[in-house]
Amino acid sequence: MQHPKTLPDYSFETDAQAAGLLRVAGVDEVGRGPLAGPVTAAAVVLDPAHIPEGLNDSKLLTPKRRVALLEQLLQHSDVSVAHASVQEIDQHNILRASHIAMVRAIQGLQTPPDLALIDGNMVPDGLNMPAKTLIKGDMRSVSIAAASIAAKIARDEIMQQLAAQFPGYGWETNAGYPTPAHKAALVELGVTPHHRHSFKPVHNILYQE
């Protein structure tokens, strides 16, 4: 017998609030895998009285559904989105850059949270506040799911703008991920200022013998 897939819920937040940590922020990032563009993070503090129905891991939602949910979130939630640049990704590494973006997103909230629920298994360096990590958090916590939606929409919009400036790489559809067409365009058209030089397919083209 197949178990129905459970949707993320508000139980981690409720547990924290019972322990006196009233403002709980869900935190997630998007864009660790692409060859181009920034890495983007979002932090969201939900209003328990106005949690949009159908919040889930952004990858499991249609673009239209994501936009509808974000509109609802922006009405009642504290939403902050932040980025780490291609330069920061190349200077540090993608993991460290994604953590920099997460810390910036949390710092951008209107009111500092009492607890950050972080998607993944690592608390970002430099996060000077209580935090709890949740593996596959965007499928378990509605706050993290909300953050995954806000981050994905923001990053996709950036990649669509960059696609207009640098046509041919397919960023409007692949968001900078290493699709066969994107890798073929890299070889044919070369490396743009928005490519991550530290990523192997880009590095190999830049430093071909």
% the chain with pLDDT above 90: 94
d(CA 37, CA 35): 7
Would you tell me the crossing angle of helices 142-165 and 63-76 to the nearest 10 degrees? 120
Amino acid at 59: K
Identify the pLDDT of residue 73. Answer: 98
Supply 10's token pair.
Answer: 């508000």
The Cβ-side half-sphere exposure at 209, using a 13 Å CA radius, reads 0
144-to-12, 72, 208 alpha-carbon distances in Å: 10, 15, 41
pLDDT band at residue 3 under the 50/70/90 scheme = very low
d(CA 29, CA 31): 7
Digit-coded pLDDT (tens) for 164-201: 999 999 999 999 999 999 999 999 999 999 999 999 99
Taking alpha carbons only, the member of 166, 164, 159 closest to residue 185 is 166
Identify the pLDDT of residue 5. Answer: 63
Taking alpha carbons only, the member of 109, 101, 112 closest to residue 21 is 112
**Long-range contacts, 179-183 (Cβ 8 Å, 24+):** 182/35, 182/36, 183/35
Taking alpha carbons only, the member of 4, 5, 9 closest to residue 137 is 9
> Cβ(188)–Cβ(169) under 8 Å?
no
Average pLDDT over residues 102-116: 98
Digit-coded pLDDT (tens) for 16-63: 999 999 999 999 999 999 999 999 999 999 999 999 999 999 999 999
Question: Residues near 194 by Cβ (< 8 Å), separated by ≥ 6?
Answer: 36, 37, 86, 162, 166, 176
Average pLDDT over residues 125-141: 96
39-45 and 78-84: which strand pairing? Answer: antiparallel
The answer on pLDDT for 127 being more than 70 is yes
